[in-house]
């Protein structure tokens, strides 16, 4: 086994013992060997799976809020493996994650992490792909719910805007009707004033015509009296 990417198994086991880990699983057909910490002072590490023919290492970490998380790293050499055994969180940004949701029952006994036996690397990749599909579906559902809420809010905003538009339209219509009524009232008042003024002018004209007619009659009467007086005087002579 000297041509393995990480190295022979015995040095791997020796480094694990030096790091306070014990071997808990070995599957030669799947080319995987697993270790677990001897005590609770392990930096959150619950299991370390080493696929020694491909150089892939999976560290199972216990997160205080998110539960168990499994981080895969590819092309790991012996030096990096030794570092991971002692500091499992030292390369948390260099791999891809798989989260395991572990439901804890209410009990007085302390929770014991579930140690799931690792599959071969290809099966793990398929399982990871299926989990990613499920996570994408969950994210899609969340996005759809957010879009639905946003559309509902937009609909409410549009309804409020329509109510404001209708109220503004009614206000303008009322203002226009009020202005039209005011203009019509002024027009009627002006027509009545003009009619009254025309009647007054006509009354004055008729009165003036009668006065002139009376004066003309008075002049005619005086002329007739003068003519009769002159006729009488001529008859006396």
pLDDT score recorded for residue 233: 82
More confident of the two residues 31 and 116: 31
When pLDDT is averaged across residues 124-137 and rounded to a whole number, the result is: 76
When pLDDT is averaged across residues 55-74 and rounded to a whole number, the result is: 82
pLDDT score recorded for residue 2: 42
Query: How long, in residues, is the chain?
Result: 237
- Tens digits of residue pLDDT in 103-115: 333 333 333 344 4
- Tens digits of residue pLDDT in 171-185: 999 999 999 999 999
Least confident of 93-97, 183-187, 193-197, 198-202: 93-97
pLDDT score recorded for residue 140: 84
State yes or no: pLDDT of 97 exceeds 60. Answer: no
More confident of the two residues 120 and 94: 120
Give the pLDDT band (50/70/90) at residue 91.
Answer: low
When pLDDT is averaged across residues 186-203 and rounded to a whole number, the result is: 94
* Alpha helices per DSSP H over 57-120: 78-86
When pLDDT is averaged across residues 203-212 and rounded to a whole number, the result is: 93
Decide: 138 and 130 in contact? Cβ < 8 Å: no
- Closest CA relative to residue 51, chosen from 92, 87, 95, 19: 95
State yes or no: pLDDT of 220 exceeds 80. Answer: yes
pLDDT score recorded for residue 42: 60
pLDDT score recorded for residue 212: 94
Distance of alpha carbon 57 from alpha carbon 124, whole angstroms = 12
The two tokens of residue 125 are 């990749």
State the average pLDDT for the chain. Answer: 82
Q: Is the Cα torsion angle 182, 185, 191, 194 positive or negative in sign?
A: negative
State yes or no: pLDDT of 131 exceeds 50. Answer: yes
- Tens digits of residue pLDDT in 25-46: 999 888 899 999 987 666 678 8
């Amino acid at each position: 086994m000297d041509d393995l990417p990480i190295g022979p198994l015995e040095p791997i086991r020796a480094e694990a013992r030096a790091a306070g880990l014990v071997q808990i699983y070995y599957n030669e057909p799947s080319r995987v060997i697993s270790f677990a910490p001897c005590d609770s002072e392990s930096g959150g590490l619950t299991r370390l799976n080493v696929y020694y023919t491909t150089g892939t290492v999976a560290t199972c970490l216990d997160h205080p809020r998110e539960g168990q998380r499994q981080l895969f790293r590819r092309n790991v050499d012996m030096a990096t493996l030794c570092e991971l055994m002692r500091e499992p969180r030292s390369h948390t940004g260099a791999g891809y994650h798989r989260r395991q949701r572990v439901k804890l029952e209410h009990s007085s006994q302390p929770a014991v992490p579930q140690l799931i036996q690792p599959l071969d690397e290809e099966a793990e990749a398929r399982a990871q792909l299926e989990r990613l599909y499920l996570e994408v579906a969950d994210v899609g559902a969340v996005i759809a719910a957010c879009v639905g809420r946003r559309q509902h809010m937009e609909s409410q905003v549009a309804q409020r805007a329509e109510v404001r538009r209708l109220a503004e339209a009614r206000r303008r219509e009322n203002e226009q009707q009020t202005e039209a009524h005011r203009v019509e009232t002024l027009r009627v008042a002006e027509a009545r004033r003009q009619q009254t003024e025309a009647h007054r002018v006509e009354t004055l004209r008729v009165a003036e015509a009668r006065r002139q007619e009376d004066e003309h009659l008075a002049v005619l009467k005086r002329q007739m009296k003068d003519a009769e007086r002159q006729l009488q005087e001529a008859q006396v002579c």
